[in-house]
Each structure stands twice: as C-alpha cells, then as structure tokens.
C-alpha cells in the first residue's frame, strides 16, 4: 500500500501532517516507510493517526530483538528475543515475542503473546487476546477485547477491562475498577481498589477484596475471605473459606438470578460465620 497526498486529503489529515508529507514525499510512498519516517521525526501521534485511518496490513516482520525509543508497525511483529521500547509501541497486527516486553505504552490491534513477562509504564490496549507466560505489570490502565491469560501475577495501577475470560495463575492486584465480560479466576488473591464487576463467576484461591461494590452474574468462590467496601452481589452462590463481609451499611445478596426455592442449590452462602446484613441467599453453616 502506498500513501499519497490525495489519500491524506480524503482522510482529512491535519494541516501540519499534510504539509509534512508533501514536503518529504513528492511521490506515492510505501505505507510502512511513512510510519517509520514519522516516528523518526518525533511525530508518533501522527503515525498512530495514520495507522488508525489506513488500518493494518498482512505483512509479517521477524526480528531477533527490538530496542528503540518508539515504534509504529502496521503489520505483525514476531520477535525471537526481548522487546525494549522507551515510549510507545503500536502494532497494527499481532505481537509475539520469545522474550520479555518492556515499554512505555503498548497498543496492539491483534493478539499479544509474550514468552516471558510484560512490563508497561503506561497503558496497554489489546484488541485480540493477551498471553503472558510470566508476570504482567501495567502502571496505567489495561484494556483487552478478548481473553487474558497471565501465568504469574497481574498488577495494574489503574482500571482493568476484559471482554473475555481473565485467568491469572497467581495474584491479581488492581489500583482501580475491574470489569470482566465473562469469568475471572485467580490462583492467588484478588485485590481491587474500586468496584469489581464480572458478568459470570469470580473464583480465587486466596481472598477477594473490593474497594467498592462486588458483583458477579454467577457465583463468587474464595479460598479465604470475601470483603467489599460496598455491597456483595451474586446471581448464584457466595462461598468463602474465611469471612464474608460487606461494607458498612451494605449487604450480601446471593441467589439474585435464582428462584427462592432454588437457593439450597443456586443461592448458598457459606463461610465461617453468618455474614452481617445477609439480604438474600440461604445461609448454610
């Protein structure tokens, strides 16, 4: 694909970007060459705009490693080793690495697969699935439009939004809200500084703690305590090996999606002692 002045006018590019292109390229120029030139000139936002408006390509680039200040690539990147990008890494296709990923902000329009860990000092946005064979640390927000699979800890300084299942082998620690459109499962503890909202079930090998309301369309199961600063609401059962404690003035609501006569099967509340403010569900010692 070639980029031309006429194509930029049709996409209503900004005047500054149009003048830059006209000054540097008198003839139609290959798409990726324009992206590379923009990044080299420090016009990373313009490179992202170009990718947003002209879309990804089917090209696949295979390299041993990446170590740059910034990179915007329209196709798929396959990296045998590690990826080190100081500012922004934007990929129009998928990103697969045999080593770790360390970057400022990261945006991938396809899948993101790392054979070891992922460390982002900004935000992470992925339109496909995420697989990290080790830990994943994100200082800002994490957004994924498919499934997330982390084979270690997942730590995020801001909110987490996942459109598919989210599976974390160890601890999940989020400094903001968590929204998951399917199920959330952690082998360790789940700590959420704001609201925790999951369309299906929540399962944790340790404790589950939420800084505001905790909602699950199905059930909530924890290997230790279930604690929220707001209400605890579940469509089916709420089961903990430790305590179940809602916030002051709030209650525990189990079996919200089940008929009252089905609570012995679909609305159980089990923990060490009967929760205070049990508003629905069947307490079973």
In this prediction the pTM is 0.93
Give the rounded percent of residues in the chain with a pLDDT score beyond 90: 89
Residue 118 lies in a domain: no
Q: Is residue 9 scored above 80 in pLDDT?
A: yes
pLDDT category of residue 137 using cuts at 50, 70 and 90: very high
Q: Is residue 122 scored above 90 in pLDDT?
A: yes
pLDDT, tens digit, 9 for 90 and up, residues 68-119: 999 999 999 999 999 999 999 999 999 999 999 999 999 999 999 999 999 9
Tell me what pLDDT residue 193 has: 97
Tell me what pLDDT residue 232 has: 98
Domain count, the chain: 1
Strands 76-79 and 214-216, sheet pairing: unpaired
Tell me what pLDDT residue 73 has: 97
Q: Is residue 7 scored above 90 in pLDDT?
A: no
Q: Is residue 285 scored above 80 in pLDDT?
A: no
Tell me what pLDDT residue 283 has: 94
Tell me what pLDDT residue 88 has: 97
Tell me what pLDDT residue 130 has: 98
Residue 264 lies in a domain: yes
| 252/270 Cα distance (integer angstroms) | 12
pLDDT, tens digit, 9 for 90 and up, residues 206-240: 999 999 999 999 999 999 999 999 999 999 999 99
Tell me what pLDDT residue 12 has: 83
Q: Is residue 149 scored above 90 in pLDDT?
A: yes
Residue 124 lies in a domain: no
Place of tokens 């300084």: 157
Residue 206 lies in a domain: yes
| 67/81 Cα distance (integer angstroms) | 11
Residue 8 lies in a domain: no
Residue 104 lies in a domain: no
Tell me what pLDDT residue 17 has: 83
Residue 265 lies in a domain: yes
Tell me what pLDDT residue 182 has: 98
Tell me what pLDDT residue 8 has: 82
232: its two tokens: 């605890």
CA angle 262, 268, 273 (to 5 degrees): 150
Tell me what pLDDT residue 21 has: 81
Half-sphere exposure of 166 (CA within 13 A, CB side): 33
Residue 227 lies in a domain: yes
Tell me what pLDDT residue 117 has: 94
Tell me what pLDDT residue 271 has: 96
Q: Is residue 40 scored above 80 in pLDDT?
A: yes
**Which of 6-20, 21-35, 90-104, 242-256 comes out lowest in average pLDDT?**
6-20
Tell me the three-class secondary structure of the chain, residue by residue: CEECHHHHHHCCCCHHHHHHHHHHCCCCEEHHHHHHHHHHCCCHHHHHHHHHHHCCCCCEEEECCEEECCEEECCEEEECCCEEEEEEEEECCCEEECCCEEEEEEEECCCEEECCCEEECCCEEECCCEEECCCEEECCCEEECCCEEECCCEEECCCEEECCCEEECCCEEECCCEEECCCEEECCCEEECCCEEECCCEEECCCEEECCCEEECCCEEECCCEEECCCEEECCCEEECCCEECCCCCCEECCCCCCHHHHHHHCEEECCCCCCCEEECEECC
Give the rounded percent of residues in the chain with a pLDDT score beyond 70: 100
What CA–CA distances, in Å, run from 116 to 32, 76, 132, 136?
28, 19, 6, 9
- What range does the domain containing 180 cover? 174-285
| CA dihedral of residues 210, 252, 235, 237 (deg, nearest 10) | 100
pLDDT averaged over the chain?
95
Mean pLDDT of 28-47: 93
């Amino acid at each position: 694909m070639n980029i031309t002045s006429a194509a930029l006018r049709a996409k209503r590019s900004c005047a500054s970007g149009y003048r830059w292109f006209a000054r540097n390229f008198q003839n139609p120029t290959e798409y990726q060459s324009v992206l590379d030139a923009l990044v080299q000139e420090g016009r990373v936002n313009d490179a992202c705009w170009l990718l947003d408006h002209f879309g990804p390509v089917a090209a696949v680039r295979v390299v041993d490693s990446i170590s740059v200040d910034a990179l915007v690539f329209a196709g798929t990147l396959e990296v045998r080793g590690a990826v080190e990008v100081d500012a922004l890494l934007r990929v129009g296709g998928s990103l697969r690495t045999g080593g770790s990923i360390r970057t400022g902000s990261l945006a991938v329009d396809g899948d993101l697969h790392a054979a070891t860990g992922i460390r982002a000092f900004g935000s992470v946005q992925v339109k496909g699935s995420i697989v990290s064979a080790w830990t994943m640390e994100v200082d800002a927000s994490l957004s994924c439009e498919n499934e997330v699979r982390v084979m270690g800890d997942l730590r995020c300084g801001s909110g987490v939004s996942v459109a598919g299942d989210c599976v974390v082998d160890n601890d999940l620690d989020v400094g903001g809200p968590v929204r998951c459109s399917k199920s959330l499962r952690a082998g360790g503890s789940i700590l959420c500084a704001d609201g925790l909202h999951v369309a299906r079930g929540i399962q944790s090998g340790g404790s589950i703690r939420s800084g505001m309301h905790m909602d699950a369309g199905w059930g909530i199961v924890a290997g230790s305590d279930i604690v929220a600063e707001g209400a605890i609401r579940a469509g089916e059962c709420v089961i903990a090996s430790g305590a179940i404690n809602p916030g002051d003035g709030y209650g525990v609501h189990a079996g919200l999606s089940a008929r009252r006569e089905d609570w012995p099967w679909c609305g159980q509340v089990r923990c060490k002692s009967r929760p205070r403010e049990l508003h629905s569900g069947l307490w079973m010692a």
